[in-house]
Amino acid sequence: MKMVAIAWRYLVARPLAAGLNLLLLTLALGSITFMLLVSTQLDQAFERDLAGIDVVVGAKGSPIQLILAGVFHIDVPPGNISLEAVRELQKDARIAQLIPISLGDTFRGFRIVGTTPAYAEHYAARLAQGTLWSAPMQAVVGNQVAANTGLAVGNSFIGTHGLGASGHEHGDDPYLVTGILAPCGCVLDRLVLTATESVWQVHEKATAVDDEDRKLLEAEREITLVLIRYNSPMAAVTFPRFVNTTTEMQAAAPAVEVTRLLRMVGVGTDVLRGFGAVLLLTAGLSVFIALWNAVRERRADLAMLRMLGAPPARVAGLVLCEALLLAGLAIVLGLAVGHGLAEVAGAWLQSERSLPLTGWIWLPAEWWVVALGLAVAALAAMLPALGAYRLDVTTLLHSRS
Amino acid sequence: MIRSRQLAYRYLAGPALQFPDLDLPQAGILLLHGPSGSGKSTWLALAAGLLRASGGQLQVAGQDLAALKSVAVDAWRARAIGFLPQRLHLSEALTVSGNLALAQWAAGVPEDRAAVSQVLGTLGLAALAHRRPTQLSGGQAQRVALARAVLLQPRVILADEPTASLDDAAAGTALQLLADTATRLGASLVIATHDARVAAALPGAQVCRLAGLPAAANGAVA
């Protein structure tokens, strides 16, 4: 008979205590796993989408809102800026690259982004099929968009006005799909890219009453915001202040704003992490109490093992083995629960056309969850195992009562 | 074979016990008689190597117990001693055969199902192999405990009050089984008891009376 088999028998001989401890440990490890998966993937998504964007210039308003709308495409933009002002800005020597972004329409919840091919190049996006757009009203769809809507090269679709759920459809101006992007793991996966001119065309046609009116609108063309890369890091000191004080626009540095955002959100994740830690502590205590009682109840059994010739270390090992067996089960279940929750949250976020999140990944940091589970069990088993080690076998001979 | 000379044991905060000298040939039967507190348990613990004598000599199954290191004593006990406790201490978490397999695990020998079924068969327990201890009668449970004690074919069987809770007929049967089993194995049998029926049932047994008086030479610790 193996030690594991004996420990397992002892464990199932007390189903209520074992089940309760398993539940506590599983919940604790599961919530820690979930936190780990979510925070790591969101950090990665933020980092990837932010890479290479030094500053975002858009309409005045909340800087965080501007970043969320312009870089991550999860909020509405504060407003539009005039094309004229952008052209003026582009002359600035501190700017290495300027990518225009025009928002306004969606297709089944996915944003239609008017931009230049530089935007796709910025994320080093590759085409899975077809080509990039070469004329207005042609569109390239992100991988997730294609998978979700079934759009293929050669299909046409009609954009819906507004970034919300409902709006009127621009029925007169269908887009033609010319390409589908390969998955890039970045924000492009959930966007529809088209030329900036497409967005102008759709809206001018929709609002202009006659040709004269349209000319007027053309003179007042706007875009939503621009993503800017600096020539030198020194520009970070002077450029945002220059934009904020001398123009009608605002400049927001994504790195600064995201740090600010994560600090605000961080309170929430810290609370969750603390919750997980408290849960784990409770689970550890509960395992300790259960083992302590088990060793007390089983004192005679354990003494009998010593009488049968088991060295003290083997008896103590049995107690430790029982705890580790419990922890092993809880680790497997906890990881499954954490990944399952992450997958559920990911599915929900995807239906909201928001950040990418999946349960189908294994992070190296999850080995820490395994180590944590085993460490807590070993720690909880230490005193009971010591008690088993030091057991006075002669009590076996004195139990006259 | 058991041989003791001027064996003594002193508790940390208690009296020192002096035991009478004795010589028991291999396969002999020894009855340890004496009232409660006379040192029967202490003598059993000394013979099993659970306690270390504070004076004198004790040889059990050809082994001088003072010469064994504490680690080696566990391995020696596993091989040489079969122990039948008064309260049988069968594990409720395991079946009858599981309890016997547990003894093999505790002794550090490979699991041997054939040996388990053989000893169960010899003691008429084959049909009960998959029962739990709670599903056994008192007599059956005692036989299971005896099976566990003799599983590894010990040289010495130590039985602690084997008749304490049995009526006359059951006590007679139990003692007969115990003696027969010891004889078959060629093992020495030591029975610690204060039950007069034991001496009557085993007329050939050597009797050692423990007085429980503190050793005068060492003096009792107050």
The count of CB pairs under 8 A between chains A and B is 86
- Choose among A186, A219, A212, A246: nearest CA to A48: A186
Is there a contact between A131 and A184 (Cβ–Cβ < 8 Å)? no
State the Rg of chain A over Cα: 31
DSSP annotation string for A163-227: SSS---B-TT--EEEEEEEPP-SSGGGGEEEEEHHHHHHHHHHHH-SSHHHHHHHHHT-EESEEE
Q: Is B155 on the interface with A (CB under 8 A)?
A: no
Average pLDDT over residues B136-150: 94
Instruction: Give the pLDDT of residue A351.
Output: 85
**What's the rounded Cα separation, in Å, for the pair A208 and A357?**
42
**Secondary structure letter of residue A127 according to DSSP:** E
Chain B residues with CB-CB distance to A389 below 8 A: none
**What's the rounded Cα separation, in Å, for the pair A275 and A280?**
9
Tokens of A4: 């594991």
Residues B151-176 have pLDDT tens digits of 999 999 999 999 988 889 899 999 99
Closest chain A residue to the Cα of B104, Cα to Cα? A1
Give the pairing type, strands B2-10 and A127-130: unpaired
Domain B2-89+153-209: homologous superfamily in CATH? P-loop containing nucleotide triphosphate hydrolases (3.40.50.300)
Query: Hey, which residues 123-152 in chain B have their CB within 8 Å of chain A?
Result: 148
By three-state DSSP, how is residue B153 classified? coil
- Choose among B191, B195, B193: nearest CA to B205: B191
**What's the rounded Cα separation, in Å, for the pair A117 and A188?**
12
Length of chain B: 222
By three-state DSSP, how is residue B13 classified? coil
- How many angstroms separate the most distant Cα atoms in chain A? 111
Q: From first to last of its 401 residues, what are the pLDDT tens digits of chain A? A: 689 999 999 999 999 999 999 999 999 999 999 989 988 998 888 888 998 999 999 999 999 999 999 999 988 999 999 999 999 999 999 999 999 999 989 999 899 999 999 999 999 999 999 999 999 999 999 999 999 999 999 999 999 988 776 677 877 789 999 999 999 888 999 999 999 999 888 888 777 777 888 788 777 889 999 999 999 989 999 999 999 999 999 999 998 998 888 888 777 778 888 888 898 999 899 999 999 998 888 888 899 999 999 999 999 999 999 999 999 999 999 999 999 999 999 999 888 888 888 999 999 999 999 999 999 999 999 999 999 999 988 877 765 43
Query: At residue A304, what is the residue type?
Result: M
Buried b (16+ CB within 10 A) or exposed e, B2-23: bbbeebbbbeeeebbbbbeebe
By three-state DSSP, how is residue A310 classified? coil
Domain coordinates in residue numbering, chain B? 2-89+153-209
Chain A residues with CB-CB distance to B81 below 8 A: 309
Q: How far is B157 from chain A (nearest CA, A)?
A: 12
ipTM: 0.89
Residues A340-399 have pLDDT tens digits of 999 999 999 888 888 888 999 999 999 999 999 999 999 999 999 999 999 988 877 765
Percent share of chain B, pLDDT over 70: 95
Q: Is B87 on the interface with A (CB under 8 A)?
A: yes
From residue A80, how far is each of A53, A101, B141 by CA, in Å?
A: 19, 10, 89
Q: How far is A27 from chain B (nearest CA, A)?
A: 28
Cβ count near A68 (within 10 Å): 19
Q: Which residues contact B142 (CB under 8 A, 6 or more apart)?
A: B84, B88, B162, B174
By three-state DSSP, how is residue A108 classified? coil
Q: How far is B1 from chain A (nearest CA, A)?
A: 20
Rounded to 10 deg, the angle between the A254-297 and A299-307 helix axes is 70
From residue A244, how far is each of A61, A241, A251, B36 by CA, in Å?
A: 11, 5, 6, 97
Instruction: Give the pLDDT of residue A399.
Output: 52
> Which candidate in A8, A390, A395, A396 is best for mutational testing of the B interface (most B CBs within 10 A)?
A396
Q: Is A401 on the interface with B (CB under 8 A)?
A: no
Residues A43-102 have pLDDT tens digits of 888 888 998 999 999 999 999 999 999 999 988 999 999 999 999 999 999 999 999 999
Instruction: Give the pLDDT of residue B217.
Output: 43
Q: Is A13 on the interface with B (CB under 8 A)?
A: yes
Q: Determine whether the interchain pair A1/B111 forms a contact, defined as Cβ–Cβ distance below 8 Å.
A: yes
Tokens of A371: 């180590």
Phi, psi of A117 (to 5 degrees): -55, -20
Chain A residues with CB-CB distance to B94 below 8 A: 6, 9
Instruction: Give the pLDDT of residue B222.
Output: 35
Q: Is A313 on the interface with B (CB under 8 A)?
A: no
Instruction: Give the pLDDT of residue B70.
Output: 81
Tokens of A16: 């209520």
**What's the rounded Cα separation, in Å, for the pair B149 and B82?**
4
Tokens 């225009």 sit on residue: A100
Degrees (nearest 5) of the Cα angle A10, A16, A18? 50
Q: Which residues contact A113 (CB under 8 A, 6 or more apart)?
A: A73, A101, A102, A103, A119, A191, A192, A193, A194
Q: Determine whether the interchain pair B108/A309 forms a contact, defined as Cβ–Cβ distance below 8 Å.
A: yes
